[in-house]
Structure 1
């Protein structure tokens, strides 16, 4: 025989030839050498028992000391120790050795959850259990503050979702959340190749600002509302451009945006969208057409420049004629004009060399008093 000591807060199971014999409590015990003793700590999981658990539970004294949790298919059990979460138990039979309440050891509580249902009961504190350890069992969707969501359960519309975080159990039921940005958005319709009424090809870029007003219409009643809105704007652009010649379009390009917005309002309302405003970003002509337009513009500007030059020349000639008439009638004005030109010429002369042969004084006298002699 041999002696086995079972410490406090421990329990022992005696087996002989693979069969259960008895349970040992705290203290010293004599056992036969052919017997095997397995010692376990109270409050811990019964791991790898040497005997089938179902058969072991048929013994009343063992069953009384075990806390058995059975978790079915599509279930989980949340284990708490003195109110604090410990672990997640999945399907199967889990056995824990009971602790004496006066010992102050582990005391377990369990909350079972049915994963076949979508809604998570309020008794489960998701704030402390997410993202770990429940992330493997919970699907999470977040709707941002500037968004609204639409919930589809089993491919059927269920309800609208306001901003927040939502949790559902993971199971075979399909759950989908579609979200839309409720802020003002801008759509670019770029590089549209369009023919005008006179068959001129041009490339046009347009933008429009909008926001989603009716979530149900946008996400439930329609598929790809933004693509449908894009096509509506394209058609409105082609309708307006195709009804005008190139010259008319360039003259009336300011009317293009209001026309497109008004023509698209009805379709946008069906899509749950409210249009704000729009505008033309670019009108690009092909290379050969652009060269022709530049030549026309240059010819127009040259013609305008010629007209201005002719007008200025006419005004200058008329001014010279009036000046000549005044000088013809007034000898003093003539003399002042001569002196003005002499002054202008002298400004350009740096030095003057005079050679006097005795007759220069007489010549100057004749030059400056010639007018006086005429008056007498």
Structure 2
């Protein structure tokens, strides 16, 4: 029964007990009383369930009273306003959609970012921030505009790690007293206009071609230097020169199907080995 209700019961054949509950001192409903109340139709009790990953804050007449533990809670609403605010304590990703901005060299681009935040102090968060995600969204927007406006396009594209660190420092310094922690914040995509993207692709392609040419020239120089060293060794070592001549002869005979040897003047095979391939002319020539 709610306050100011009057009911009359016959007590001739049935025992009637009446228990009066003073709800002005403590708004909590005990478990014994909660089992007696028809919850779906009750106008004097408010129930709230706080999950394990949540923080429940109890407000009575707009004043924070306590932080509720996970579980089911019930409160008397007679003569007072009861409200339970639940905050998710798990990490949450906030996507900052693309927005157009100008770099230091007056090139328009769009940047998308991702921030991961979590609530570490629910009481302070509720007292200072009405909407955590919307507030963080706007704060990151201001941070990325300021960071991009002070950099050229090349600096934005090449120094992504430095840009992410600057954004994290900017945001963390401004949310330090709000009870919210930003664990990660970084640039997800940098979207360039069509003509600028084509120019950047051409520059990247030219850099790769130049790098490939440089590597090829270095390899050619190394091969020439190695060949020069080999020539010097053969010049000072006749046996090494003879081995090189025989190696060249081997490569030649691989393409020959038939070899006829004539033993005239007592030469034959010796003439094949000594006169067919010579890298160095005889000294008596």
* Coarse TM-score class (shorter-chain normalised): 0.7 to 0.9
Q: 1:267 aligns with which of 149, 153, 174?
A: 174
Does the Cα contact within 8 Å between 1:75 and 1:112 map onto a contact in 2?
Answer: no
Equivalent residue, structure 1, for 2:68: 162
Structural mapping, 1:1-376, within 5 Å: 74-75=2-3, 91-96=5-10, 98-99=12-13, 106-112=14-20, 119=27, 125-129=32-36, 133-137=38-42, 138-154=45-61, 156-163=62-69, 164-169=71-76, 173-321=80-228, 323=230, 334-349=241-256, 351-352=257-258, 354=260, 366=271, 368=273
Partners of 2:143 and 2:55 in 1: CA distance: 30
* Cα shift readout 1:170-228 (whole Å, capped 9, x = no counterpart): 56754322221234444333434332211233333333344334434322343213322
For structure 1, the residue ranges without an aligned partner over 5 or more in a row are 1-70, 77-90, 100-105
User: 1:230 Cα shift?
Assistant: 2.1
Please name the residue that 1:17 is paired with: none
Q: Distance in 2 between matches of 1:168 and 1:368?
A: 111
1:235 Cα deviation after fit: 0.7
- SS of residue matched to 1:282: strand
Larger Rg: 1
Distance verdict in 2 for CA 1:285–1:360, change over 3 Å: farther
Partner of 1:301: helix, strand, or coil? helix
SS at match of 1:136: coil
Deviation (angstroms), 1:343: 0.8
CA contact (8 A) 1:75 1:113 kept: no
Q: Deviations over 1:215-270 (max 9, x none)?
A: 34322343213322221121111111110101122333212233222222343134
1:54-105 deviations in Å (ceiling 9; x for gaps): xxxxxxxxxxxxxxxxx7xx449xxxxxxxxxxxxxx454332523xxxxxx
Deviations along 1:298-326, one digit per CA (max 9) or x if unpaired, are: 21121122122223333434444555566
RMSD value, Cα: 3.9
- Distance, in Å, in 2 between the alignment partners of 1:373 and 1:279 is 74
Gaps of 5+ in 2: none
Q: 1:337 to 1:231 in 2, by over 3 A?
A: same
C-alpha distance in 2 between matches for 1:329 and 1:120: 105
Partner SS state of residue 101, structure 2? strand
SS of 2:58 mapped into structure 1: strand
Equivalent-residue separation in structure 2 for 1:238 and 1:284 (angstroms): 14
Distance of 2:258 and 2:116 partners within structure 1: 80
> 1:119: how far off?
3.0
Inter-partner Cα distance in structure 2 for 1:223 and 1:366: 101
Give the length in aligned residue pairs.
Answer: 278
Distance 2:170 2:282 in 1: 90
**TM-score scaled by structure 1?**
0.60
Which contiguous aligned blocks of 4+ residues in structure 1 show a shift greater than 6 angstroms? 114-118, 328-331, 371-374
TM-score (norm 2): 0.75
Q: Which of the two has greater strand per residue?
A: 1
